[in-house]
Amino acid sequence: MSPRLASSRSVFVVPLAAVLAAALLASCSSASPDASASRTPSESPVSAGPTPSPQAGSAEPEPESSPAETEEAPPASPTPPAFDATARSIDDPSSLWVVSDKLRPLDPVDYAPTDLVTPDVASQNPPTLRAEVAAAVVEMFAAGEAEGAGAFQVQSAYRSYALQVDVYGGYVQREGQAAADAQSARPGFSEHQTGLALDISPIPLSCPLKACFGDTTQGRWLADNAWRFGFLLRYPVDKVEVTGFMYEPWHFRYIGPELATEMHETGVTTLEEFFGLPAAPDYAG
């Protein structure tokens, strides 16, 4: 029922290869400006799980057709450690992999993160996010701008249970519950309450929280590159029946680089499908 493996480019080793190539070809041509060294995973403490050892299983002595014959070690590990989909909880609201949808309320329903910080980025209102997410957003915005996508700002980030009560309640009052449910999560069901999700807009502001954001240079760049920084476009245009939410090209959910890379490489675009969970088109009651 789901078109998996839509595009499984094997980009796993590209950053390292690109950096090497850029170093070697520095004098040749300026045709590849993309290796701007902006992806430094050094400050993400997420690698709690399997750390790929550089010595792991060095099988092949030489890459077949390397254009340069430096004696640098070839890009390591042709066989990265297998991805373990059970490495983190999908139920614990403090887990980077928590799956929150219309069938999966946060537990406890009024969960609040304990490590919220304010990232140093442009924003409509001073946002807060969990510390690891905040660092990743700063890195992602800088990379997007450096790679020619333009400037970004945070439209909305962490929202508490109490605030979501107000937001959702406002929709219900103005438009009724059905319309509210199509546009806003009920309190306890919002990814924004985890401190792992944020809404992004361009600078200068255009198409805020609208589908046309997906056609801006910023929106296109995010759709293609957010995974590199551990983010997922959580509500894709073709998965409304799975996620229960309309297309939201501005809403990005942090899941960490490990899972984001795995989803990117396998072409699975929703957490529900990746973890084998039922589609959540609507609330249970």
Could you tell me the smallest distance in angstroms from the CB atom of residue 192 to Zn ion? Answer: 6
In the complex with Zn ion, the residue whose CB is nearer, 199 or 272, is 199
Could you tell me the smallest distance in angstroms from the CB atom of residue 127 to Zn ion? Answer: 11
Query: With contact defined as beta carbons under 8 Å apart, do 120 and 138 qualify?
Result: yes
The residue type of 275 is F
In the complex with Zn ion, the residue whose CB is nearer, 132 or 191, is 191
The secondary structure of residue 104, as a DSSP letter, is B
Give the span between the Cα atoms of 219 and 214, in whole angstroms: 4
By CB under 5 A, what part of segment 214-273 binds Zn ion? 251
By CB under 5 A, what part of segment 45-74 binds Zn ion? none
In the complex with Zn ion, the residue whose CB is nearer, 35 or 100, is 100
Q: Pick the catalytic residue from 248, 262, 272, 273.
A: 248
What's the CA angle centered on 203, arms 198 and 207, to 5 degrees? 70
By CB under 5 A, what part of segment 156-215 binds Zn ion? 199
Give the length of the chain.
Answer: 285
In the complex with Zn ion, the residue whose CB is nearer, 5 or 162, is 162
Give the span between the Cα atoms of 11 and 189, in whole angstroms: 34
Give the span between the Cα atoms of 80 and 97, in whole angstroms: 21
List the x/- string, 96-135, binding to Zn ion by CB under 5 A.
----------------------------------------
Query: With contact defined as beta carbons under 8 Å apart, do 283 and 105 qualify?
Result: no
231-233 and 251-254: which strand pairing? antiparallel
Give the span between the Cα atoms of 255 and 123, in whole angstroms: 22
> Which residues have a Cβ under 8 Å from the Cβ of 164 and sit 6 or more positions away?
184, 185, 186, 187, 188, 190, 192, 193
Query: With contact defined as beta carbons under 8 Å apart, do 229 and 139 qualify?
Result: yes
Size of the site for Zn ion (CB under 5 A): 2
Give the span between the Cα atoms of 153 and 201, in whole angstroms: 5
In the complex with Zn ion, the residue whose CB is nearer, 88 or 251, is 251
Could you tell me the smallest distance in angstroms from the CB atom of residue 159 to Zn ion? Answer: 9
Could you tell me the smallest distance in angstroms from the CB atom of residue 57 to Zn ion? Answer: 41
Could you tell me the smallest distance in angstroms from the CB atom of residue 197 to Zn ion? Answer: 6
- Give bridge partners of residue 123 from the DSSP assignment: 154
Whether 248 sits among the annotated catalytic residues: the reply is: yes
Positions touching Zn ion (CB under 5 A) are 199, 251
Catalytic residues: 248
